[in-house]
Chains A and B, each alone.
Chain A
Amino acid sequence: DAGVIQSPRHEVTEMGQEVTLRCKPISGHDYLFWYRQTMMRGLELLIYFNNNVPIDDSGMPEDRFSAKMPNASFSTLKIQPSEPRDSAVYFCASRPGQLSYTFGSGTRLTVV
C-alpha cells in the first residue's frame, strides 16, 4: 500500500497562473478530502467527495478554487487564477467508510 499520493510536493508559481494539485487516494477508500494548512488559519477542510461525488464544498474559499474527482483513483484541486494568499500546504486524505483517515504528504504551494 503506497498510501495517499500527492503531486507535486512543491509548487512555485506566479500570481495569476493556474495551479493544479493532484491526489491519488488509497484503493478502496470511497471518501476523499482536501485540506489547506496555513499558519494563520490552521487546517481547514476545503471539500470532500464520497464515491467520486462532491458532498460538501462549503470550505472552498472562492470561485477561483475548484475540485474534481473523475474516477475513484484520482482527484484534482485547481486554483485559477492563483494569488499570493493561496500560498499554503494542501493535503489530501482518504478513508474507507468511517474513520481511519490517511493523509498524503501534502503539496507546498508558493504563489509569488
Chain B
Amino acid sequence: AQSVTQLGSHVSVSEGALVLLRCNYSSSVPPYLFWYVQYPNQGLQLLLKYTSAATLVKGINGFEAEFKKSETSFHLTKPSAHMSDAAEYFCAVSGGATNKLIFGTGTLLAVQP
C-alpha cells in the first residue's frame, strides 16, 4: 500500500521568507511523487513531479522538491514566498501495479505581508 503524510496542516510565513512544506511517503515499490496546488474554489494544478530521474525536481512558480529515499521524504521548498503563493498544497504518490494517485491531507499555506 502507498501513502503520504504531510506534516503541518497550516503553515504561515512572511512574504519573502523561505517556504518549506513537508511530505513523507510510504511505498513498497519505487514511487512517483507529485505536488499539487489548489487555489480557493479551483481545481488541482500540478506544481512538479518526481519520476525516478533527477532527485531535485524544479517546478512552476519557483518551487522545487528533493526526493530523499533514505528519509522517504519529498519536501517542497521555495526560497522567497510571494503573496500569490497562499493556497493549499497537496503531496501525492503513485506507482507500481496500482494506477492510483494517493493524496496527503494537504497543507494550507498563508503568506503574511
Contact = CB atoms under 8 A, between A and B. Distances in A.
Interface of A: 31, 33, 42-43, 45, 48, 50, 55-56, 91, 93, 98-99, 101-106, 108
A42 B43 contact: no
Contact of A33 (B90, B101, B106): B101
B32 A43 contact: no
17 contacts: A31-B99, A42-B103, A43-B103, A45-B100, A50-B99, A55-B99, A93-B44, A93-B101, A98-B32, A99-B51, A99-B94, A101-B46, A102-B46, A103-B44, A104-B43, A106-B42, A108-B41
B11 interface: no
Contacts, number: 42
A102 B102 CA distance: 14
B112 to A, nearest CB: 23
Nearest to A98: B32
The 7 closest A-B CB pairs, nearest first, are: A43-B103, A103-B44, A105-B43, A103-B43, A42-B105, A106-B43, A45-B100
Contacts of A99: 32, 49, 51, 94
Contacts of A56: 98, 100
Interface residues of B, number: 22
A33 B43 CA distance: 14
Given A45-B101, A93-B44, 8 more contacts: A43-B103, A45-B100, A45-B102, A48-B100, A99-B94, A103-B36, A103-B43, A105-B42
A27 B82 CA distance: 35
Interface centre among B44, B46, B100, B104 (most CB of A within 10 A): B44
Contact of B106 (A42, A48, A55): A42
Contacts of B90: 43
Nearest to B42: A105
Nearest to B98: A56
B92 to A, nearest CB: 8
A33 B100 CA distance: 9
B66 to A, nearest CB: 19
Interface string B25-45: 000000010101000011111
